[in-house]
């Protein structure tokens, strides 16, 4: 059987990794796929560099439309990124009857509903394992391996840049700005790290995971997104003293009222495996009703780890290309006509526990005032840490961990506590998840 011909749009870090891994492991991949997989064309604006990377082993062009319009190309790999030209090219490829493999989480999180509908109508596949957690096969695990389960929640460290920064802040006691500069120097953070450090990248991925876990349309615009830019080294230290570590988590949960979809810094018990994921590594924890908790760990970015996921998608498509579209694995795990309209909950309605740090006057009655206000808002205290003032100091930090309560209760209580004359400045609030 002739090899299936593939067109590659963009041969940057992941594209070059895909080309190299496919070439290096071609015999093994052929044995698994049932036929050869060959990158026959590459489109990149830097034609000279692309020719150098491919060694003259395929046609190189500077116009992606030449790949889309080539009748011999059956699969198009989109590795351009972004929302603009990438969306146009993916939709054109689908319209031309070609299957698509993409690592573009931003595109799918914002326009996935339109793209999957177009693919369904045309009878082609859109595969996107590389869009979430790099080389970790979390999409396949959720979509296929855990299909017997009612997924209860998913929580993941799904951005390596922020995990590296938080690991360094904890290990070395440094502030955020200092560690960010080091992350940029080492190549873990981009020159403009906004999408990473503000939580947007993780929210794109969490949006996709929520859709596959619960069978709802992709709804990035309804995700709650907080980054790590406001985290202070002192809070990481206090969390450690209380037996917790702080990670930027993407969390999605099924609740009786709707689905939670949120990204924010989170305290996790230090004894949890996911709390011990350090550096630029990723990990995703999935709770199913039948299987219980399962953890997926590995490299969430990089040339060849992400290429591993891209090629796994190529193999899947090669195996299923001739199958009746109705018998393929659905894009978002659930049959298109069985998708749910379960609402995404507003942040005020979510329920979790909280870490609260406040700087207060060292005088009698302060703690009584604070606990009274918390009680008025149905918030009970689980643990407390009080830092004694140093010699000559008149203020001290009080740190409280609450039992589970609604976000709106905490927000209202904080507003009242901050109005006390004995409380200085703003209260630091970080959410807490036991993940048990």
DSSP-derived secondary structure letter, 302? S
Residue among 135, 156, 161 nearest 212 (CA): 156
Domains in the chain, CATH or no CATH each: 4-135+303-338 (3.40.50.720), 138-299 (3.30.360.10), 349-432 (3.30.70.260)
Query: How far is residue 15's CA from residue 42's CA, in Å, rounded to a whole number?
Result: 9
Poorest-pLDDT segment among 135-139, 238-242, 320-324, 394-398? 320-324
Query: What are the structure tokens assigned to 186, written together?
Result: 């080492």
Do the beta carbons of residue 83 and residue 75 sit within 8 Å? Answer: no
Query: What are the structure tokens assigned to 306, written together?
Result: 């992400």
Scan for tokens 């939709």, then name that residue.
Answer: 91
Residue among 79, 116, 101 nearest 320 (CA): 101
Across 232-239, average pLDDT? 96
Catalytic residue IDs: 205
Give the distance from CA 158 to its chain's centroid: 4
pLDDT given for residue 391 in this prediction: 77
pTM of the predicted model, to two decimals?
A: 0.95
pLDDT given for residue 38 in this prediction: 97
CA atoms within 13 A on the CB side of 297: 9
pLDDT given for residue 390 in this prediction: 76
Cβ count within 10 A of residue 141 = 16
Burial of residue 38, with CB atoms counted within 10 A of its CB: 0-12 exposed, 13-18 middle, 19 or more buried: middle
pLDDT tens digits for range 361-372: 988 899 999 999
pLDDT given for residue 203 in this prediction: 98
- The mean pLDDT of the chain is 95
Residue among 61, 70, 51, 69 nearest 9 (CA): 61
Query: How far is residue 58's CA from residue 36's CA, in Å, rounded to a whole number?
Result: 15
DSSP-derived secondary structure letter, 143? I
Across 213-233, average pLDDT? 97
Instruction: Enumerate the β-bridge partners of residue 100.
Output: 76, 126
pLDDT given for residue 113 in this prediction: 95
Cβ count within 10 A of residue 179 = 23
Q: Which helix (H) or strand (E) holds 352?
A: strand 351-361
pLDDT given for residue 404 in this prediction: 98
The packing angle between helices 47-54 and 13-24, to 10°, is 20
Residue among 189, 178, 165, 157 nearest 279 (CA): 165
3-state secondary structure of 23: helix
pLDDT given for residue 324 in this prediction: 82
pLDDT given for residue 265 in this prediction: 98
pLDDT tens digits for range 373-414: 999 999 999 999 988 877 778 899 999 999 999 999 999 999
Contacts of 353 by beta carbon, 8 Å cutoff, 6+ apart: 382, 401, 402, 403, 404, 405, 431, 432, 433, 434
pLDDT tens digits for range 137-195: 999 999 999 999 999 999 999 999 999 999 999 999 999 999 999 999 988 889 999 99
pLDDT given for residue 436 in this prediction: 87
- How many distinct helices (H) and strands (E) make up the chain? 15, 17
pLDDT tens digits for range 94-130: 999 999 999 999 999 999 999 999 999 999 999 999 9
Instruction: Enumerate the β-bridge partners of residue 414.
Output: none
pLDDT given for residue 389 in this prediction: 79
pLDDT given for residue 373 in this prediction: 98
pLDDT given for residue 323 in this prediction: 76
Left (φ > 0), alpha (ψ -120 to 50) or beta: where does 123 sit? left
Query: How far is residue 406's CA from residue 263's CA, in Å, rounded to a whole number?
Result: 17
Q: Considering just the CA atoms, what is the radius of gyration of the chain in Å?
A: 24
Give the distance from CA 110 to its chain's centroid: 14
Give the distance from CA 352 to its chain's centroid: 20
pLDDT given for residue 255 in this prediction: 97
% pLDDT > 70, the chain = 100
Confidence grade of residue 333 (pLDDT, cut at 50, 70, 90): confident
3-state secondary structure of 141: helix
Query: How far is residue 396's CA from residue 60's CA, in Å, rounded to a whole number?
Result: 65
């Amino acid at each position: 059987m002739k090899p299936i011909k593939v067109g590659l749009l963009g041969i940057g870090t992941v594209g070059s990794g895909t080309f190299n891994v496919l070439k290096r492991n071609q015999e093994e991949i052929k044995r698994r796929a049932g036929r050869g997989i060959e990158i026959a064309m590459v489109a990149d604006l830097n034609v000279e560099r692309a020719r150098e990377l491919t060694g003259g082993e395929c046609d190189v062009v500077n116009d992606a439309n030449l790949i889309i319009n080539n009748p011999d190309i059956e699969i198009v790999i989109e590795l351009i990124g972004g929302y603009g030209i990438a969306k146009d090219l993916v939709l054109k490829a689908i319209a031309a009857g070609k299957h698509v493999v993409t690592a573009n989480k931003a595109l799918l999180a914002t326009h996935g509903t339109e793209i999957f509908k177009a693919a369904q109508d045309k009878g082609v596949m859109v595969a996107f394992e590389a869009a979430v957690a790099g080389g970790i096969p979390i999409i396949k695990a959720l979509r296929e391996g855990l299909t017997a389960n009612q997924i209860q929640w998913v929580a993941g460290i799904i951005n390596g840049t922020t995990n590296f920064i938080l690991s360094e802040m904890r290990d070395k006691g440094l502030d955020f700005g200092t560690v960010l500069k080091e992350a940029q120097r080492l190549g873990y953070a981009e020159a403009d790290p906004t999408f990473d450090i503000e939580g947007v990248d993780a929210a794109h991925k969490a949006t996709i995971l929520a859709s596959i876990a619960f069978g709802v349309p992709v709804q990035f615009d309804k995700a709650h997104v907080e980054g790590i830019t406001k985290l202070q080294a002192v809070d990481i230290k206090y969390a450690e003293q209380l037996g917790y570590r702080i990670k930027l988590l993407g969390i999605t949960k099924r609740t009786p009222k709707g689905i939670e979809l949120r990204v924010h810094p989170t305290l996790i018990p230090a004894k949890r495996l996911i709390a011990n994921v350090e550096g630029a590594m990723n990990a995703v924890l999935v709770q199913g009703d039948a299987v219980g908790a399962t953890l997926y760990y590995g490299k969430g970015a990089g040339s060849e780890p992400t290429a591993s996921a891209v090629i796994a998608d190529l193999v899947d498509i090669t195996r299923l290309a001739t199958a009746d579209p109705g018998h393929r694995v659905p894009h978002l795990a659930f049959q298109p006509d069985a998708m749910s309209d379960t609402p995404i909950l507003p942040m005020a309605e979510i329920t979790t526990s909280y870490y609260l740090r406040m700087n207060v006057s060292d005088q009698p009655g302060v703690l009584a005032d604070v606990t009274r206000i918390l009680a008025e808002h149905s918030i009970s205290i689980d643990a407390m840490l009080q830092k004694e003032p140093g010699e000559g100091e008149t203020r001290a930090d009080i740190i409280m961990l609450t039992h589970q309560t609604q976000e709106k209760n905490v927000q209202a209580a904080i507003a009242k506590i901050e109005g006390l004359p004995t409380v200085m400045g703003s209260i630091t609030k970080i959410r807490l998840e036991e993940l048990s």
